[in-house]
Amino acid sequence: MRFTSQTSSDGVTEQLFTLGGIPGVLWTPEDATGPRPLILMGHGGGQHKKAPGIPARAGRFVTEGGFAVTAIDAPSHGDRPKDEEFVRIATENRARMGAGEDTAALVAALHELLADQAVAEWQAVITAVQELGYVGACPVGYWGLSMGCGLGLPLVAAEPRVRAAVLGLLGVHGLAGTAARVTVPVQFLLQWDDDRVPRAQGLALFDALASAEKTLHANPGKHGEIPGFETDSSLRFFTRHLG
């Protein structure tokens, strides 16, 4: 892991890094010492590691929860080169969305294309970050909605270091089997008037999760209109399960 910059503001230290070609960012309490739980933050489709909302949410997790938080550019996103097949599917997906057509199969294909690489990269990042003395081998949480959910579900299903997850804004298409392997506590966010994910599909994904402890948070509004108070709820959720 190679750190390329460091800044501190309002009690939060932000460090940009690269790890084997993976661009990422790590937020920790300023002058942090000793171990602390780590939260991974997965961004949405077409976004990147510092997309609007991610640094602010990370800042709250750091200052109010004492967590370390990291985000990386997903494959074919942010500062990373774009795979030709990804570009083809993404272009078709945008066109169909614009025409008001059902794009669930295309979205699932996009996530399937990226998932194996994304899981391996997240696992490498967890290992590298936990080697830092001010993070350590403490429990890990995952937060990711929309594409962040599509790439996060396979990670949560496969990685025992992840002990709790906030997921949502995605339908069950192509994910039922993966969801059935998720057993950690989950807080699932659903927008009741989602203009991209049919309500029934989102409810079906929640139902498919095998977690003994799972909570559905349904709010009125479209796909990107998550209420700000859900960050408060996520913070309480991770504090309860990660310590």
Report DSSP letters for 223-237, one per residue: TT---THHHHHHHHH
- The average pLDDT across 41-47 equals 95
pLDDT tens, position by position, 144-203: 999 999 999 999 999 999 999 999 999 999 999 999 999 999 999 999 999 999 999 999
Round to whole Å and give the CA distance between 172 and 242.
27
Q: Residue 211 sits in a domain of what CATH number?
A: 3.40.50.1820
Round to whole Å and give the CA distance between 243 and 239.
5
> Which of 178, 201, 183, 177 is closest to 191 using CA atoms?
201
> Would you say 214 and 206 are in contact if contact means Cβ atoms under 8 Å apart?
yes
Element (H, E) at 92: helix 84-98
Round to whole Å and give the CA distance between 156 and 8.
30
- What is the span of the domain harbouring residue 55? 2-242
Round to whole Å and give the CA distance between 220 and 226.
9
pLDDT tens, position by position, 51-95: 989 999 999 999 999 999 999 999 999 999 999 999 999 999 999
Mean pLDDT of the chain: 96
Number of structural domains, the chain?
Answer: 1
